[in-house]
């Protein structure tokens, strides 16, 4: 007999899965990805090793869930930002919100943006989760008027937009612009340029690389975004 979604057994299963993931996140915070061990999790929550495998088939299965949850949390952080003002104000607000999430949850940030785990392949839907995080940035850059210096990358991403229907659908979802409309390629180019600049700064901060350098990482990120806003002539 199928288990009803709201049955006591189903609720117990979801509660147990949540407890397992919470224990895994604690291990992740204490010792990084290498510190996540199913048998130690089982011991911590008072469960036998074989019993735990009924909830997660492997460590990679558990990591895939944590990756999913981390992207969900990152997306929630940027989706809560009010971007109604648009332009550089919205761009600064989005990058600040993302940085704040990463600084508050460095172990989750490094799980999705740090050194790849040997032998672990992230689930296919991870790309969709990453795009969800970047979606609001597309909206901001829709009103951009890029300088000539951006043209080479703009041309490449215009081709990508036309060759990949899933990318075109994603851009249209956030901008309301079809792939043929010039703002669609502009929005995609702005978002793609934001991604490495934002992550470069945040990653260095999270890993302590700015220690002793005499500046505030938040200020550096703001300056980078101001330069990017200038390149797209955002209001």
pLDDT band at 3 (very low <50, low <70, confident <90, very high): very low
Strand, coil or helix: 203: helix
pLDDT in tens, 131-140: 999 999 999 9
Give the pLDDT of residue 4.
Answer: 52
What rounded mean pLDDT belongs to the chain? Answer: 92
Please give the average per-residue pLDDT across 157-162, as a whole number: 96
Give the pLDDT of residue 128.
Answer: 87
End-to-end CA distance of the chain: 60
- Rounded alpha-carbon distances, angstroms, from residue 13 to 41, 50, 56, 127: 16, 15, 11, 28
Residue 13, both tokens: 């299963």
pTM: 0.90
Give the pLDDT of residue 83.
Answer: 96
Instruction: HSE, CB side, 13 Å, CA atoms: give it for residue 71.
Output: 20
Q: Where are the alpha helices (DSSP H) in 80-179?
A: 87-104, 106-113, 126-141, 151-163, 165-175
Distance CA(81)–CA(98), nearest Å, equals: 10
Which distant-in-sequence residues (6+ apart) come within 8 Å of 103 by Cβ?
A: 202, 205, 206
DSSP structure class, residue 114? S
215: left (phi over 0), alpha (psi -120 to 50) or beta: beta
Distance CA(221)–CA(78), nearest Å, equals: 16
- Rounded alpha-carbon distances, angstroms, from residue 209 to 26, 200, 201, 216: 24, 11, 10, 12
Query: How many Cβ atoms are within 10 Å of 90's Cβ, its own excluded?
Result: 22
């Amino acid at each position: 007999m199928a288990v009803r979604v709201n049955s006591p057994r189903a609720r117990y299963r979801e509660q147990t899965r949540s407890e397992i993931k919470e224990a895994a996140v604690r291990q992740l915070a204490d010792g990084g990805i290498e510190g996540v061990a199913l048998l130690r999790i089982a011991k911590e929550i008072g469960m036998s090793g074989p019993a735990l495998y009924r909830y997660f088939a492997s460590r990679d299965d558990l990591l895939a869930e944590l990756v999913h949850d981390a992207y969900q949390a990152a997306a929630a952080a940027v989706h809560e930002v009010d971007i109604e003002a648009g332009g550089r104000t919205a761009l600064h607000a989005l990058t600040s919100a993302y940085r704040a999430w990463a600084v508050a949850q460095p172990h989750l940030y490094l799980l999705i943006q740090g050194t790849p785990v040997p032998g672990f392949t992230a689930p296919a839907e991870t790309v969709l989760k990453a795009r969800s995080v970047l979606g609001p940035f597309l909206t901001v850059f829709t009103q951009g008027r890029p300088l000539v210096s951006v043209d080479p990358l703009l041309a490449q991403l215009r081709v990508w937009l036309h060759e990949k229907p899933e990318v075109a659908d994603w851009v249209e979802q956030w901008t309301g612009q079809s792939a043929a409309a010039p703002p669609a390629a502009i929005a995609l180019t702005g978002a793609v340029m934001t991604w490495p600049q934002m992550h470069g700064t945040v990653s260095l901060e999270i890993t302590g690389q700015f220690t002793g350098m005499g500046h505030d990482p938040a200020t550096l990120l703001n300056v980078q975004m101001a330069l990017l806003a200038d390149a797209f002539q955002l209001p």
